[in-house]
Every structure is written in structure tokens, then in C-alpha cells.
Amino acid sequence: MLVPKIPVNDQPTGQAIPFGTAVDGHQHVPAACSCQHPAPAPATTTRPTAQLTPGSIALLVGGGTAAVLVVGAVLVSMLLAVAITGASVAVCALVVRSLMNNNR
């Protein structure tokens, strides 16, 4: 339970290679196998590209347009709320000012 665990480095080849840290002071060397393995396939460095069809382009354009319209509506409604609040505060200030001037 209190024995430290050695982390395992997962390589892209799929082989798990442990780090070179030894816990008890000596290294364990794996024995070489006598079997014959097939040659590994050459690694490809290119990634597959995304294929854009006319339908997916139309979907992207429609989604982008919808997002712009939703964000614009939210921003306009926030601006309208600030304008209405400012106007109502200004009207309240005028009413309070006229009430205070009438008392004199």
C-alpha cells in the first residue's frame, strides 16, 4: 500500500514504456525476445482534412448568422434597458426637483 508507483509513459506506438527511475536502487532490463516481428508501418505525419460539403457550408453559415442575431438581440435589449432606466431616473429627478422648488 505504501510502495510508490512508477508512472507509465504511453507512447504513440501503443507500447507502455516505464520511466528510468529505480525504486530499490537497481534497474531491471527486459530480456530480448527471439521471435520475429513484422516491420512497423511507416508513420504518416499528415492528418486527415475536414471535407466541407455544400450542405455543411450552408449549415455553418446559418449557424453563424443565428449566433450573430442572438448576440445582437441580447446587446440591443441590454442597451434599451439602460436607456429606459436612465430616462426614468431623469424623470424622477425632475419631479423631485419641481416638488422641492414648489415648497419655497
Q: What local confidence, expressed as pLDDT, does residue 89 receive?
A: 97
Tens digit of each residue's pLDDT, the chain (104 residues): 677 776 665 556 655 556 554 545 566 666 677 777 777 777 666 667 778 888 999 999 999 999 999 999 999 999 999 999 999 999 999 999 998 887 65
Q: What local confidence, expressed as pLDDT, does residue 22 receive?
A: 52
Please report where in the chains the cell 530480448 appears, as a residue.
32
Per-residue buried b or exposed e for 2-15, using 16+ beta carbons within 10 Å of the residue's own CB: eeeeeeeeeeeeee
Q: What are phi and psi of 47, to 5 degrees?
A: -100, 150
Report pTM: 0.44
Q: What local confidence, expressed as pLDDT, does residue 38 receive?
A: 77
Taken as a whole, the chain contains a residue count of 104
